[in-house]
Every structure is written in structure tokens, then in C-alpha cells.
Chain A
Amino acid sequence: GENVEQHPSTLSVQEGDSAVIKCTYSDSASNYFPWYKQELGKGPQLIIDIRSNVGEKKDQRIAVTLNKTAKHFSLHITETQPEDSAVYFCAASPPENTGNQFYFGTGTSLTVIP
């Protein structure tokens, strides 16, 4: 099955700086890559996603890039704010014929220092 690795496991940045989280995946057939944010005591919430036919996607301060050849994708958060502090998970999803199963990375705990 798919294997997703995520780095770093913890990340501290000053407010206003950028944060970058990187993930690699093993199954070249995976075609959907969502990113989830999980706050303490809550379930994960989708913040951005990208499909395999797109190289980059932006949504305000958040962007995701995908390199299919290298099988890695990254989350970029610019102008970080204290409310961005949370655990972030990347995931990869194989094609439709295997259902909508998500394989998650191990998470990155982001702390934004005011």
C-alpha cells in the first residue's frame, strides 16, 4: 500500500515568517493530496488539496506544490499567525478504483511564536 513520510515532526517559527512542511509518497498512482489541520481536541480539518494534474495551488496565505516525478509535495504557509499553531497532516489517495482511502503522514506540530 501507499506510504507517506512527513518532515519535520515539529516546527517553530516567528509570527510573520513562513513555514514549509514536506511530504513524500511511494505509490506513483496516487492522484489526490489533501492537507489537514488538527487543533487540540478536534478532528482534522481540510485546509487545501491538490490533484495530480496540477503543480501548484494557492489559497490566500496557504499554498501546496506537487512534484509527481519526485513523488513529493509541500505545504507553504506565509505570514504565519498564532492561530496557525496546530498539527498538520499530509495525505495521499490512490485512484478511484481503490475507493477514497487516505494514507496520512505522521504529522507536523507547528508553533507560531508571537
Chain B
Amino acid sequence: EAGVAQSPRYKIIEKRQSVAFWCNPISGHATLYWYQQILGQGPKLLIQFQNNGVVDDSQLPKDRFSAERLKGVDSTLKIQPAKLEDSAVYLCASSLGWGSYNEQFFGPGTRLTVL
């Protein structure tokens, strides 16, 4: 079974530029998550989708971050404009269902460096 795919793996941009990350979840997984992992910290949830609808985006900085999940499969996360503090690894995860006890499967992440 193929895992969660993410691209690019690395991205370096200057502050105020824009950047986009792409995620392809495990086939058949209805729930998709985007996490931000700052160096030395645990992942923090940014947004959660159930199929193509947003379940929770309470921790997404909506003035600069946006995400979509077209057709309930792939997802993109965009930052515009980027700030220095956005430097982090952005992890995408998926799970079969929405309720408790559903294992979340993580992709390898995209490491973003903002200069």
C-alpha cells in the first residue's frame, strides 16, 4: 500500500514570497490533516478535512495560510506572504475515518526555510 506522498521535500524562499505544498493521501482515506512542525516541537494541527469539507481550521493563520482539498483526494496548502516564523516542516497525514481511534498516517513532510 502506497503511503502519503508530499512534494516538494524541501523549499527555500524569501520572506513575503508565496509557496505551495501538495499532498496525496492514502487511497480511500477520507480524512486529511496538515500539521506544522517547528524544529524541536511536536506537530501542531493547522487544518483537517473530511472528504472535501473543512472539519477544523481553528489553528490556521487565515490571513496568510489557505488550504483546499479538491474532489476529496489531493490537497494543497499555500502560504502568502511567508514570514520568517513559518520556517518549519509541513506534514500531511491521512486517516481512514473521522472519529476517534483512527490511526493517522504521515507523509515525509516538506521542509520550508524562509530567509
Residues in B whose Cβ lies below 8 Å from that of A96: 99-100
Query: CA A4 – CA B107 in complex, angstroms?
Result: 23
Assess whether A104 is in contact with B44, with CB atoms less than 8 Å apart: yes
Query: For the complex, what is the distance from the CA of A89 to the CA of B55, rounded to whole Å?
Result: 24
User: Which of A41, A95, A100, A107 is the one whose CB lies under 8 Å from B95?
Assistant: A100
CA distance A95 to B40 in the complex (A): 27
A: contact size bracket = 20 to 34
Of residues 47 to 88 in A, which have CB atoms within 8 Å of B's CB atoms?
49, 51
Interface 1/0s, chain A 21-47, versus B by CB < 8 A? 000000000011010100001111110
Distance (whole angstroms) from the CB of B54 to the closest CB of chain A: 11
Given known A-B contacts A46-B103, A93-B100, A102 and B4 have beta carbons under 8 A apart: no
Any chain B CB within 8 A of the CB of A14? no
**Size category of the binding interface on chain B:** 20 to 34
Known: A89-B42, A107-B41. A100 touches B106 (CB 8 A): no
Interface contact A95-B100, CB-CB below 8 Å: yes
Contacts A43-B106, A44-B106 known; A100 to B42 CB distance under 8 Å? no
Chain B residues 46-85 with CB under 8 Å of chain A are 48, 50, 55-56
State whether A43 touches B103 (Cβ < 8 A).
no
- Sample of 15 further A-B pairs with CB below 8 A, known A43-B107, A100-B48: A31-B100, A32-B100, A45-B106, A46-B104, A49-B101, A49-B103, A89-B42, A96-B99, A99-B50, A100-B102, A101-B56, A102-B45, A102-B104, A106-B41, A107-B41
